[in-house]
Amino acid sequence: MAALTVTPFLPASLAAIILHDRIGRKALAFTILLLICICMLVTGVVLSSAANRSPRVLFTFYVIGLGFSQLAFFSNMQYTLELIPTCVRCQALGALYSISYSFLICKGCILNMRNIFFPLPEIILGVLILLCAGLFLLLPETLNRTLPCSLEDGEKLGIDEHWYTFSCMEKRKQPEELDSSLAPRNGI
């Protein structure tokens, strides 16, 4: 049983590596959180009937959720490292870890909501994850962009983007366009 719980780790890390450069960091983070939200709400609906609370069904949802959460962790960690300027990266990551561990206190409270209504924890987490997915839309895309080294660079990152800007939707440059953009110009 313990061996089955670690099976999603390798596919999640490989998927994060492959999808980062194909669809971009912002699109991947938003899509993964949206999929996790849908899975949480489907889990809540399935678990609302007493007939679907068998250990096999619960374990299946657990492994699927673990795979998505690992994919979200790997992709969001990479995205976070690219967004934070180099000069404050250690302090910012330390603060993020402290905040995330402080939310572990809330875990017991949310899981105890199961005594009130069995799928209530899944509903609460699904709504929170949907809010987080919406917040990811406000972040800039970092794929094919110069990453910030200073605080000023960090403030300028994504200044010309909209919330609906995804790098996977941008027109890809043809090799001829890339060659002409790299060619030296007269007078330079």
**Range with the poorest average pLDDT among 27-36, 88-97, 122-131, 152-161:** 152-161
- Could you tell me which of 112, 119, 125, 124 has the C-alpha nearest to residue 46? 119
CATH numbers and ranges of domains, the chain: 2-182 (1.20.1250.20)
**What's the mean pLDDT when you consider all of the chain?**
80
Residue 162: what pLDDT?
74
* pLDDT tens profile 34-81: 988 888 888 888 877 766 677 887 788 888 888 888 888 888 888 888
19 or 179: which leads in pLDDT: 19
Residue 173: what pLDDT?
53
* Cβ atoms 26, 167 nearer than 8 A: yes
